[in-house]
Amino acid sequence: MDRTLICIGGGELKSKETLKIDEYIANKARERAAGKRPYGLFIPTASHDSMPYFNSFRKTYTSVFDIKADVALTVYGEMSAEKLRDKFEKADFLYVGGGDTVFMLEHWKKSGMLDLIKEAYERGVIVCGLSAGAICWFGEMYTDSPEVRQDESYAIFPGLNWIKGIISPHYGRRVLDFDEIILYNKKAAVGLEDLSAVEISNGKIVRSLSFGGNAYNICCENGELIKSVIQPCTVL
């Protein structure tokens, strides 16, 4: 069973900035649904279960792409474990929204949500995410979560380590600081600009997606920063 992640660097669902990337996800979900109406489960933990955020997801995925949209709410204890598990078992794809990455990961671990997400991923449910929902799967993530950044605007924080390496969302807005960290640490990294994404299959990046932004491989060789657009790149 293939395990698929689609990680989006940034963009506003509400204003449909990422619409072509959303269309790509919707088409992948239809393939998995195999003739039935696809079911997408939105996970807004990083935004402290913001319902307006879910409504933006629903307006795009249901109104535009005719996908059944549902939401997993756990921050305020709204849903029983049985109800949550039922939602996850129905899902063709999960969509993890942006917000506070560190809060999200800590809450997932405490609430049992992480186990449900991992079980879904292992059985082939497509796992997608934007910003916080894109970077949490990597070994290290460049985040502006208030719990870790102290006096700096951003800081490196451990992720789930499903995918090796360091990643930054919103790379176009953080490029100078993030590049400096990569030069200092001499590690390979991924930089996702807004309106870009990477598709990861079985732990390996297989393509990037561009709807105006680019996804970059970044490394340090002989004291110099080397970066290239991740190939193949599908322009949407």
pLDDT digits (tens, 9 = 90+) for 188-211: 899 999 999 999 999 999 999 999
pLDDT band for position 46 (50/70/90)?
very high
Mean pLDDT of the chain: 93
Instruction: Please report, for the chain, the start and end positions of each structural domain, with discontinuous segments joined by +.
Output: 4-235
CA 114 from centre of chain: 14
Amino acid at 229: V
What tokens does 209 get? 């997606």
pLDDT at residue 79, as a whole number = 85
CA 12 from centre of chain: 13
pLDDT at residue 144, as a whole number = 76
pLDDT at residue 202, as a whole number = 97
What tokens does 217 get? 């491989």
User: Which one has a higher pLDDT value, 95 or 224?
Assistant: 95
Does the pLDDT value for residue 156 go beyond 90?
no
pLDDT band for position 222 (50/70/90)?
confident
Mean pLDDT of 179-187: 86
Q: What is the CATH number of domain 4-235?
A: 3.40.50.880
pLDDT band for position 151 (50/70/90)?
low
pLDDT band for position 150 (50/70/90)?
low
CA-CA distance, 163 to 73, in Å (whole number)?
26
CA-CA distance, 189 to 181, in Å (whole number)?
10
pLDDT at residue 28, as a whole number = 97
Amino acid at 57: F
Mean pLDDT of 8-16: 96
Amino acid at 153: S
Question: In the β-sheet with 155-158, what is the strand arrangement from edge to edge?
Answer: 155-158, 138-143, 163-168, 189-192, 215-221, 224-229
pLDDT at residue 195, as a whole number = 98
CA-CA distance, 56 to 166, in Å (whole number)?
29
Instruction: For the beta carbon of residue 85, count every other beta carbon within 10 angstroms.
Output: 15
